[in-house]
Structure 1
Amino acid sequence: MKKHLLALLLTLIVWPLAAQQRYELNAGWLAQPIAKVPVQGPQLSQPAYPLTGWLPAVVPGTVLTTQLTNKQVPDPFFGMNNQRIPDIYRTGPGYYTYWFVRDFQEAPASGTGQVWLHLRGVNYSCEVYLNGQKLNQQTHRGMFLRQAYNITPHLAPDGRNRLAVLVYPPDPVGNPNGGQAGDGTIARNVAHQYVAGWDWIQPIRDRNTGIWDKVTIEKTGAVNLRNPHIITRVPGLRKPTGPQPPALLDVTAELENPTEKKVTGTLQYTIDGQTVRQKVTLPARATQLVRLPTLTLSNPKLWWPNGYGAQPLYASQLQFLVGKTVSDAEEVTVGVREIQREWNARTQSMQVLVNGQRIFIKGGNWIISDALLRFSDARYDAEIRFHRDMNLNLIRVWGGALVERPEFYRACDQYGLLVMQDFWMTGDANGRWVDPLKLDDQYARRQYPQDHGLFLRSAADQVKLVRNHASLAIWCGGNEITPPRDILTALQDSILPQLDGTRWFVPYSNADSMSMNTLGGGGDGPYTIQPIGRFWSQRTYPFNSEVGSVGVGDVESLERFLPAANLVPPRFTGTPARPAEQVDSVWDYHKYIGYENYLLPYGAPTDARDFGRKAQLVNYEQYRALMEGFSAHMWDWYTGSIIWKTQNPWTALRGQMYDYYLDPNACLYGLRTGSEPLHVQYNPVDSVVMLTNNGFEVQRDLMLEVDAYDMAGQKKSITQVVVEINPSMSKKYLPINGTVRQLAREKGMFLSLQLLNLSKQPVSQNLYWLPDAKGEYSGLKTMPKAALQVVAKSVETGKVEVVLTNPAGAPVAFFNRLALVNPATQKRILPVFYSDNYVSVLPGKQKTVLLDYTPTSDVPAPVVAVEGWNVVKQLVPVALK
């Protein structure tokens, strides 16, 4: 038996090509504007040409990020600094046309070895030179089209090489005249559109010209393995737990043979200890798509969206073997799941299914991680984790930006966020509406971009880039508009069926094929602050791709990008019928969206700190009500909603659950509460207590407790009842209208809802603060202080447990903001992930909050800050475990 096993292992041994590797050229770049470079590419790219006086460059990055690094321009995200940076529309494109140069060591390949240069994204056009040779015979165009060059014959004999890339801006650059995408002409390019300005961002002055994505060197044998594709099929109706019937995996890959001789070898794929193989003969100078036999995966660990199950991921590998030598290999992480959709006749909208189970979509619209394209794995991880923490299950990548990077998708795979990915169209720039700020009329804009072939080549390439990610669920032709007919036809009839074939394709983000507006609602939206009852009572699109509200942070967030002189809160100057605010000019420049008269019931803000404090109360209520209102009508009015929007890629003052610096505000935690998978909630329209169950199992043996607390902390039990709820539904239980009105009429009240299991442990908790009969929070204004006790201890490296205790007989310790801070500066450490925040503690009760952060040497012993509506700020040291 041992001899047989040894013989089997020996037959499986393969020897990798010794030089096989991939590395990134992400440091050591130099840059210079074209006007300061007296030579052309062939001479500049010679390693001996001197680069004296050249600027250290940021790659991946843009001209503007290089200028920022060299302190040539101020931070455009602070104050009015962006106005101090020359705009390309006025300077002309030559001002931001730059050379980027990188010297690197790479010896010539031996034998049949090959060396490849990959550029994953250049905006917008470029010429590429290596050691005096031009690699692209025609100018490369297109922000989203990857480039790959076989540089084997061009490597220097001594291994000293120079890469030189001349990068041109988009053409046209667009006039940033204050319209959505400025005058719209930026959309003539196959590039992102927000860079000419939008209603949530000011123009990016260089339009993000540069080598904005990764540059890598890859070394292979004679055959290069490209664009692997793994499709997972999960037949039938599945559950997240228990034994699973098999899943099926279909695998293909492109094999490129650049040599002068045919090559015979074996393509093989390995996952979870199983391998499938296919013998292949590749002609000389040929590329071939190879399909492997279907692999059956027994008892698979299935991938589920956040809130519905776990997200196990399999490591897998494709290899091409020549004999027993690996010519090339690609690692692919696989989440085993199947995405489906079906029409819901009751809601008149599509519903999403994963592994046969329908998923109620709770989503957030995403623009881009950073408006200047400063991407990092750590930032992607933090932002997607925040979305997981909001109890969301989908992110829509908006069409005015880009097909998101694989690093974004890897984080979505890890945290269970489905992705709806738009292509590069928007109704604003691409002609859905008459717009006097646009240079061209609707007919001309409906044919944008200028080069349809480039758009389609770019779309096909980006599909190949991200199609293996479990999180990718929906392709969308564009934001609020279809692409031109020939592009739309090619996408839906050839590109996506041939290169993917497993996802739902929506022609545009609010298409009738996604969601029909036939049930008496408005359209998508609303986008601004709303009476909270409207989210419960007024129907919108049954699968609403954009609905949102406000999102200003507190004063500590505002201080990061507003000069001290401009920390002046907006002042309400209108009437409820005609709301109006007087707003500081810097707030207005950062796209402030108004709170109107919604802060006044708490008392008119006295300064920026008071404004930020009261804004958080409104933030929490708005987003809790938004998701509760949609969930209350799950499968009746709605199959899903996507918030506009959950994040900002710059320092905007609207629509965000956390600020640009990754500091969360109360929007995040209100949304987190309202989006709980199993949730108890109060309908403010008809004063009914409800339960929502998003899961696949009946929830029974639960106790629903409803209590009222006055401003002094006196408790009045309203009711206690045993409840159960079936899977995937919302259900009304208790009308409490008369009781609530009576208890709240003088000073308002707190309404406590608790769902407990048989061990009296909370399954869901929710606390509402209700106004008095006049709609004022008169009781909150005079609420007595609570002596909240706070204990913090380290439970492991980077994790802190905070226990909040409110003594019996005290008032409610209301709306406490926790933060991990530097004890020397009292500034918040960012990012920190809180299991909950803006928490309230009832009299005689405790709450435990877990803080998760990455320790750094410059703050070895952070402290916990706690401050509430009626709780004096405390700084609490963290006890070591």
Structure 2
Amino acid sequence: MRMELHDGWTVRAVRGPAPDALADREVPATVPGCVHTDLLALDLIPDPYQDRNEAELHWIGRTDWRYRTTFDWEPGDGTERVDLACAGLDTIARLELNGHVIAGTANMHRAYRFDVTDQLRAGPNELTVTFTSALDHADRVRELLGHRPHTNHHPYNQIRKMACNFGWDWGPDLVTAGIWRPLALERWHGARLTSVRPLATVDADGDGVVHVHVDVDRAPGHDDELPVTVHVGVVAAAGVVPAGATTTTIEARVDQPRRWWPHGYGDQHRYPVDVALTVEDQPTPDNGDLTTWAGEVGFRSVRLDTEPDEHGTPFTFVVNDVPVFARGVNWIPDDCFPHRVDAARYRQRLAQARDAGVNLVRVWGGGIYESDDFYDACDELGILTWQDFLFACAAYPEEEPLRSEVEAEARDAITRLAPHPSLVLWNGNNENIWGHHDWGWRDQLGDRTWGAGYYHRLLPDLLAELDPTRPYSAGSPWSFSHDIHPNDPAHGATHIWDVWNQRDYTAYRDHVPRFVAEFGFQGPPAYATLRASLSDDPLRPDSPGMLAHQKAEDGNGKLARGLAEHFPEPQDFDDWFWATQLNQARALRFGVEHFRSHAPRCAGTVWWQLNDCWPVTSWSVVDGQGRRKPAWYALRAAYQDRLVTVRPRPGGLAAVLCNETDEPWTTRLVVARTAFAGAVLGEVRHQLTVPPRAVHEEPLPDTITTATDPAAELLVATAGDVRATWFHLPDLELALPVPELTTAVEALEDGYRVEVTAGTLVRDLALLADRVAPDAEVDDMLGTLLPGESTSIVVRTALPVDPEDLVAPLVLRSANQLLR
């Protein structure tokens, strides 16, 4: 029997710098939840996502908090055992039941279970959970174990807690405390299932094999043999947990199962798995779901090809013996308060990724192991999942009290996530091996540990024990050799940050990595998101709220330097806003198309990043309120299955066609040298067939690529309904005309259709509909129209809109406007 303890909670500050109005005041609390959202719900603090409120709330992270509830309990027949099951405690907690200290915990990333049989009493019971300040605890561990280098302000590497909770270059400093995942009493007799770990593989004959690893917990005196039954779809198998033992493995075989594939390669077939433990002569209704387990598996093979070749060391995912070009994005926690992210929100965000052509999501190591809802959605949508272990941008102590916590949380995560077919890679850390090599850590560390033992011994040993079915990489970036620089682009996975930090985005073409696991460029969130979260009047790039929501070091300076290569200096906020959004989109598309053009040597791109945890200027393509930025449309264009792009090569320009489908692409490639006024000045045609999952490069003749007037000409490359453009000069050197647009707006049942006809060349047309209706979304953006061409843009909104507002100059935007 499971009894959730989610009702009747209160919370109060018990030590620390809480304001006088809150000191020792008990207020209602929500479980699952955290202190910030509890206080926010009662209007006791301002919204930390608004304006500069974050800075006023740092005291919360320096305060100790006590949660308390009472509940009624009816004892059983005296043969039962009762556990307090804690799925998530954030983070340094002392649990007391009826005045008895049950336990102390120190890890946000693991689950706990405590035997409370002897502490429960008939009738009312009181449970308290006291959380010590995570900041204070981290400081104390640092004093005990010694300083280790880390990014940002706080020593997050001294505590097992979500690293980005302490602030990041896209996230606020909001150090939380609370019962953030479900809490329950579980009553059982004799024995219960502790964990079920089904590992699904495909043998050489194509048959499915599931090894179901079953662990049980026994009550004292219950040492009998325990029968276990397993069903995988319609296939049944049985086994036993031997007398006195606590584990067994049962094999189930499925003849020629339907495979699970990443989307774009096949269907996402999954098979239900049901496990039942038989406990003789015990009251089964009381055991309930403690003796049964239900989940799903998918049959697919997965390996990481790292066999050295003429270019170095590849990093290529191979699923069901098919190499997969990874069209990826990095994932960060979708909210600073992750208990607020439910199954529907996970599904929405991941659907936004899939709709942009994404087939891989990397769960970044400074966040959390997401809930099962996240991985279930990846399984359903066919999105490959790369899972970092939770170490990011820091040196981590390998001594106690941290080492045992690291092992326990890794065991929890591996066991819980192993059934998911979408999970295709375990990764040891984010940038820590690189940091140790290049960031001056060795001089600071001396002979102190820094995490190498985790990445090269502990984690691979745990995976060999618990999940030998998936590949492992010690880190990202990592070259798979201690003798090669960890971020060598010729070996393994690479992170490319010189572009954002120091160079123009066109410098992406200087890199030809085997796999790029991080690269990115900033842009502000949607206008409606800014207006909903900032009260700055007027808005300026450097207005107080804008600066508070720009966390990157010299972020605005880098944005300005990135613009300077392409556009005149914006004269007002509206032009700055549109120019920086457009520049982000341009940088993304430029980088992705360049890397895709070098497939299969380059086997994947993972943009930093998909999402945000609050409203902020960042590298995301979906902002902190879930709105798609222009960069999302650029990502969709760059990740389309069939892509045409014009790329410089040593011998001149070439048209590159990428075919990421299972069918040959037979098409006529037409490349036209075109004047801005619309005249075709020259043209070449090629009848081509691009094989499945292949790239074709077609050199272009100088007669087409050499412009008489580079400021007033472009190349237009078309293959069927796929088109690419190439401009010879940056926008600020182009003679882009004042845009002449004819528009018509038609009301639809769920929004509007905007028809646009160009009287002149119009580059990067965008309809920023959220400036008119905050809920509005458009179906397309960033197309380039030649004189006389038309396009139709559908705007979805539930709000009434004046049609004229949809075509106003600050809403219907183009690159042309930024030159005037």
TM-score range, shorter chain: 0.7 to 0.9
The answer on whether the counterparts of 1:230 and 1:250 sit within 8 Å (CA) in structure 2 is yes
User: Structure 1 residue 335: deviation in Å?
Assistant: 2.3
Residue 291 of structure 1: aligned partner: 249
User: Structure 1 residue 189: deviation in Å?
Assistant: 1.7
Deviating more after overlay: 732-741 vs 765-774: 765-774
Distance 1:845 1:222 in 2: 75
> Among residues 246, 250, 266, which one is paired with 2:207 in the alignment?
246
Distance 2:546 2:128 in 1: 46
Provide the aligned length of Structure 1 versus Structure 2.
764
Shift of the 447–289 alpha-carbon distance from structure 1 to 2, 3 Å rule, reads closer
Q: Write the letter of the residue equivalent to 2:668.
A: M
**Partner SS, residue 612 of structure 2:** coil
User: Structure 1 residue 828: deviation in Å?
Assistant: 1.9
Residues 679-711 of structure 1: CA deviation (Å, up to 9, x unaligned): 12121564321111233x341432334456655
The answer on whether the counterparts of 1:817 and 1:868 sit within 8 Å (CA) in structure 2 is no
- Residues 1:234 and 2:202 are matched in the alignment: yes
Residue 766 of structure 1: aligned partner: 723
The answer on whether the counterparts of 2:410 and 2:459 sit within 8 Å (CA) in structure 1 is no
Residues 503-531 of structure 1: CA deviation (Å, up to 9, x unaligned): 22212211221877275999633351754
Residue 263 of structure 2: aligned partner: 306
Shift of the 221–448 alpha-carbon distance from structure 1 to 2, 3 Å rule, reads closer
**Partner SS, residue 385 of structure 1:** helix
Distance 1:364 1:337 in 2: 22
- Residues 1:121 and 2:78 are matched in the alignment: no
The answer on whether the counterparts of 1:142 and 1:191 sit within 8 Å (CA) in structure 2 is yes
Q: How does 1:473-492 map to 2 (within 5 A)?
A: 473-482=424-433, 484-488=451-455, 490-492=457-459
Residue 390 of structure 2: aligned partner: 424
Residue 828 of structure 1: aligned partner: 774
- Residues 1:471 and 2:422 are matched in the alignment: yes
The answer on whether the counterparts of 1:249 and 1:296 sit within 8 Å (CA) in structure 2 is yes
Residue 168 of structure 1: aligned partner: 132
User: Structure 1 residue 455: deviation in Å?
Assistant: 1.7
Shift of the 684–217 alpha-carbon distance from structure 1 to 2, 3 Å rule, reads farther
Q: Write the letter of the residue equivalent to 1:189.
A: I
Shift of the 187–414 alpha-carbon distance from structure 1 to 2, 3 Å rule, reads same
The answer on whether the counterparts of 2:91 and 2:108 sit within 8 Å (CA) in structure 1 is yes
- Residues 1:406 and 2:378 are matched in the alignment: no
Residues 653-693 of structure 1: CA deviation (Å, up to 9, x unaligned): 12111111111111111111111222121215643211112
> Among residues 14, 27, 30, which one is paired with 2:10 in the alignment?
30
Residue 517 of structure 1: aligned partner: 488
User: Structure 1 residue 100: deviation in Å?
Assistant: 1.1
Residue 356 of structure 1: aligned partner: 321
User: Structure 1 residue 631: deviation in Å?
Assistant: 0.7
Deviating more after overlay: 63-72 vs 840-849: 840-849
Shift of the 862–461 alpha-carbon distance from structure 1 to 2, 3 Å rule, reads farther
The answer on whether the counterparts of 1:180 and 1:199 sit within 8 Å (CA) in structure 2 is no
Shift of the 456–617 alpha-carbon distance from structure 1 to 2, 3 Å rule, reads same
Distance 2:258 2:4 in 1: 33
- Residues 1:390 and 2:356 are matched in the alignment: yes
Residue 542 of structure 1: aligned partner: 514
Residue 526 of structure 1: aligned partner: 498
Q: Write the letter of the residue equivalent to 2:461.
A: S
- Residues 1:787 and 2:743 are matched in the alignment: yes
Q: Write the letter of the residue equivalent to 1:295.
A: A
The answer on whether the counterparts of 1:814 and 1:870 sit within 8 Å (CA) in structure 2 is no
Shift of the 704–26 alpha-carbon distance from structure 1 to 2, 3 Å rule, reads farther
Residues 776-802 of structure 1: CA deviation (Å, up to 9, x unaligned): 24315x1212325556345xxxxx7x7
**Partner SS, residue 236 of structure 2:** strand
Q: How does 1:102-501 map to 2 (within 5 A)?
A: 102-104=69-71, 107-109=74-76, 115-136=82-103, 139-152=104-117, 154-158=119-123, 160-170=124-134, 171-174=136-139, 181-183=151-153, 185-204=155-174, 207-220=175-188, 222-235=190-203, 245-283=206-244, 288-292=246-250, 294-322=251-279, 327=287, 328-344=291-307, 345-347=309-311, 348-373=313-338, 374-427=340-393, 429-430=394-395, 447=398, 450-482=401-433, 484-488=451-455, 490-501=457-468
Residue 58 of structure 1: aligned partner: 30
Distance 2:208 2:689 in 1: 34
Distance 1:605 1:652 in 2: 20
- Unaligned 5+ segments in structure 1 are 1-19, 37-51, 237-243, 431-444, 572-581, 757-761, 795-799, 854-858, 875-881
Distance 1:860 1:787 in 2: 21
Distance 1:71 1:657 in 2: 31
- Residues 1:612 and 2:577 are matched in the alignment: yes
Distance 1:663 1:398 in 2: 21
Residue 565 of structure 1: aligned partner: 537
Residue 4 of structure 1: aligned partner: none
Q: How does 1:597-608 map to 2 (within 5 A)?
A: 597-599=561-563, 601-608=566-573
Shift of the 222–659 alpha-carbon distance from structure 1 to 2, 3 Å rule, reads same
Distance 1:862 1:272 in 2: 51
User: Structure 1 residue 305: deviation in Å?
Assistant: 2.1
**Partner SS, residue 169 of structure 2:** coil
Q: Write the letter of the residue equivalent to 2:429.
A: G
Residue 623 of structure 1: aligned partner: 588
Residues 325-345 of structure 1: CA deviation (Å, up to 9, x unaligned): 585211112222222112241
**Partner SS, residue 654 of structure 1:** coil
Q: Write the letter of the residue equivalent to 1:255.
A: V
Distance 1:388 1:23 in 2: 37
User: Structure 1 residue 624: deviation in Å?
Assistant: 1.0
Distance 2:107 2:410 in 1: 11
User: Structure 1 residue 414: deviation in Å?
Assistant: 2.1
Distance 1:718 1:803 in 2: 34
Distance 1:314 1:717 in 2: 57
- Residues 1:644 and 2:616 are matched in the alignment: no
Residue 12 of structure 1: aligned partner: none
CA RMSD in angstroms, aligned pairs only? 3.9
The answer on whether the counterparts of 1:744 and 1:770 sit within 8 Å (CA) in structure 2 is no
Residues 174-222 of structure 1: CA deviation (Å, up to 9, x unaligned): 5999x95445533122223333333333422xx2222222223445554
Q: Write the letter of the residue equivalent to 1:34.
A: V
Residue 437 of structure 2: aligned partner: none
Shift of the 478–349 alpha-carbon distance from structure 1 to 2, 3 Å rule, reads same
**Partner SS, residue 71 of structure 1:** coil
Residues 95-122 of structure 1: CA deviation (Å, up to 9, x unaligned): 5211112344554346866554321121
- Residues 1:733 and 2:704 are matched in the alignment: no
- Residues 1:75 and 2:75 are matched in the alignment: no
Residue 444 of structure 2: aligned partner: none
Distance 1:126 1:57 in 2: 16
Distance 1:652 1:860 in 2: 25
Q: Write the letter of the residue equivalent to 2:500.
A: T
User: Structure 1 residue 566: deviation in Å?
Assistant: 5.5
Distance 1:777 1:111 in 2: 84
Distance 2:728 2:361 in 1: 34
